[in-house]
Chain A
């Protein structure tokens, strides 16, 4: 009843092709953005920002990048952590080695470096697919782990292998407090999510999806697999790389290669699978789910055990986390390969008909 598009007629293709064709959706997104930019900084305490919201924003951006490659172009990757590392370390090197380079520019250059490395490790995708490609991208992961640990130049000869940045300034804005960091990451994410949405709804996105769905037919209508696949690798790595720079510079501000280990790659892949392959919205759902689940389990499991007089240790909780993740991934792969995003859109479909579904 509330969520109806009756009477919202489209009289031009431009109106029909907008991102949110239904007026209620447009209001909802405006409301959400207002709340995120104005409401949250006023309401939320520092712990919540630092522990949940900032990681959520940055990992959403990374998941968005992974989703472009895995969900939209169908090229499976286990190297997302590596591209985050490349982004972070490249931006770090630009930042310390070029005096007076604006921070935004070093972030973007970090992303571009990640894109270049992504293209390089994407070359095997022209020959192999599926599991074999996953293994090839895993090589990127181990390679970058090794490089940033063993080649001192990349870490500016830091003896511990860890690097740190301080005194971050963007266009005269000192990013120091958690609220600053939150707002910066949010702004960055909104812009990049919009770019991702635009790409997936225009020609390049259709090329990626065509390659994913039926590569022979795609070739026959004049899509070059080389360009489609490598551009997906480049764009994906760019997103993931900038997420890496944010993770290093804004979230951690001092980090070592372990911050971008293979665990991170798996985590990002899980986000995309659980959230929804081939859906921009799904990347956010997946990131929210994976960031919030451990914290929720932490709160909930000991209390739940208490009901039955069982004490659950901290180690028990972290084991339970792995068990729940594993079970959920299997559940989603079998029951809903399109993830939470599909559940969401089904719910919306139902809501449109409610309360008269016939």
Chain B
């Protein structure tokens, strides 16, 4: 690959998160470098999705810091995260079901819209111009993801695989610098997985987007990611290049179970 992996862009330090008595994450630290594809893996309930939710501020960790491009956030919130260029997709698709594909992607442009409510109500110069400019951007995403034929379909009517793709599209429409993908390939057939892998690699390659990804398909993870973090019961048990992680005895135990 021609892309250059850069400096640390996102650094998580000693993050702990609990819900009442349940410890979801215990003292987890890892970093993400610019332009890399960083995978988070682990058995079910290991705290992977909680980790993503901490990164973009949906959950607030009791302890620990998130350092984004040198800026320290002890508590992130979703709005700040979005403004800082973090976007994400969801494990169980969280699209806006009542809206069509274009409108779903247009919501991704929301933070870039400057015109106010009154201008929009009158469809006045700036509001109208913006609407057209963002539509053009959204069409680029539509072309990129090859979903031209469904652009005016309400997303509730789309099959699962395409909904996943639109979900990715909405995140891409934000032109993020960091993209968090929560099981982008869950429940897909082989062909759809291949398509999704291609899109992820293309995003990373063409736009230089840093990608943090949770995935259960080990073949996919080992193939496309640069570095892998392994979580188990909310603790970090492995971190490194795919090959190192695969050889890590603790990781093997977590996945296959230990012999007692």
Please report A residues at the B interface, Cβ cutoff 8 Å.
Answer: 13-14, 17, 195, 198-199, 202-207, 209-210, 212-214, 216-224, 231, 235, 278
Contact = CB atoms under 8 A, between A and B. Distances in A.
A248 to B, nearest CB: 24
A264 B78 CA distance: 39
Nearest to B80: A222
Interface string B138-177: 0100000000000000000000000000000011001000
A207 B132 CA distance: 17
B107 to A, nearest CB: 5
Interface string B10-32: 00000000000000000000000
A351 to B, nearest CB: 18
B132 A17 contact: yes
A17 B131 contact: yes
Interface residues on B, range: 35 or more
A5 to B, nearest CB: 12
A219 to B, nearest CB: 4
21 contacts: A17-B135, A198-B121, A203-B109, A203-B115, A203-B130, A206-B107, A209-B96, A209-B103, A210-B96, A210-B99, A212-B96, A213-B98, A214-B94, A214-B95, A217-B94, A217-B95, A219-B58, A219-B78, A220-B88, A222-B83, A222-B110
B56 interface: yes
Q: Is the interface of B mostly helix, strand, loop or mixed?
A: helix
Contacts of A220: 56, 58, 78, 81-82, 87-88
B72 interface: no
A278 B103 CA distance: 14
A114 B132 CA distance: 33
A189 to B, nearest CB: 15
Main secondary structure of the interface of A (DSSP, over half): helix
Interface in B193-234: none
Given A198-B123, A206-B110, A213 B78 contact: no
A221 B115 contact: no
A218 B87 CA distance: 11
B120 interface: yes
Contacts of B188: none
A237 to B, nearest CB: 14
Contacts of B61: none
Contacts of A17: 131-132, 135
A202 B98 contact: no
A14 B78 contact: no
